[in-house]
């Protein structure tokens, strides 16, 4: 099982879609037909509220599983810290090999996005919570946008977890870089002149 976690707005939904594409993975496939769905409808939502439910979960349904949870996530209108350690321990008690992937995004974009949607930046809460976690990998929003399928292949090899990097849906998922709405080009920066000078022909 792969636990996807990250600060609110760091790309949990996007990564959930990508991992759900592989036929051997039981994931959040309802997202593949929707742009966004609340975490209360994530396949393991009830198990996040009560991790002990994993003890009776039917682990014969698939070879691989992926679940997604933000830090913090909204539970009935309240910002809530998920019990990641307890969830991982309960799954491991059932003989499941659990891996953790922490999603990341530019901190300036995160702060602006969280301020816009929640009224204040909350990513610092995730940074504190993750100090006690040892992730198997960090997933970068920006590296995915830049290297796309090559990055996905690298991730799959690194954590030994299937990703359908050849799926045509990857193009659809990555069609729009949601970072762009936060960026405005500048006309000139004081360092530009130095950069142009050092890059100019000198022979």
The mean per-residue pLDDT over the stretch 135-150 comes to 98
173 pLDDT above the threshold of 80 = yes
- Beta bridge partners of residue 7, listed in sequence order: 71
Please report, for the chain, the start and end positions of each structural domain, with discontinuous segments joined by +. 2-178
Rounded to the nearest integer, the mean pLDDT of the chain is 93
The mean per-residue pLDDT over the stretch 136-151 comes to 98
* Residue 78: predicted pLDDT: 85
Each residue of 73-101: pLDDT tens digit?
Answer: 888 888 899 999 999 999 999 999 999 99
**Could you tell me if 1 and 98 are in contact, meaning their C-beta atoms sit under 8 angstroms apart?**
yes
Domain 2-178 has CATH 3.90.1690: no
**Could you tell me if 5 and 100 are in contact, meaning their C-beta atoms sit under 8 angstroms apart?**
yes
pTM for the full model? 0.92
d(CA 18, CA 23): 11
203 pLDDT above the threshold of 60 = no
The structure tokens listed for 106 are 């530019």
Each residue of 26-61: pLDDT tens digit?
Answer: 999 999 998 888 888 999 999 999 999 999 999 999
């Amino acid at each position: 099982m792969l636990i996807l976690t990250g600060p609110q707005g760091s790309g949990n939904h996007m990564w959930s879609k990508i991992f759900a594409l592989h036929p051997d993975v039981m994931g959040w496939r309802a997202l593949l037909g929707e742009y966004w769905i609340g975490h209360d409808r994530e396949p393991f939502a009830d198990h996040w509220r009560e991790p002990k439910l994993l003890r009776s979960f039917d682990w014969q349904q698939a070879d691989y599983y992926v679940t997604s949870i933000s830090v913090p996530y909204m539970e009935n209108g309240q910002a809530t810290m998920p019990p990641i350690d307890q969830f991982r321990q309960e799954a491991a008690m059932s003989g499941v090999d659990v891996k953790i992937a922490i999603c990341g995004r530019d901190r300036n974009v995160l702060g602006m996005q969280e301020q816009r949607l929640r009224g204040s930046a909350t990513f610092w809460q995730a940074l504190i919570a993750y100090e006690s976690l040892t992730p198997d990998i960090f997933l970068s929003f920006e590296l995915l946008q830049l290297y796309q399928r090559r990055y996905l292949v690298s991730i799959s090899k690194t954590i030994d977890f299937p990703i359908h990097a050849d799926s045509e849906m990857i193009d659809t998922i990555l069609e729009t870089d949601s970072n762009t709405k936060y960026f405005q080009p500048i006309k000139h920066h004081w360092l530009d002149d130095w950069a142009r000078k050092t890059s100019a022909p000198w022979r």
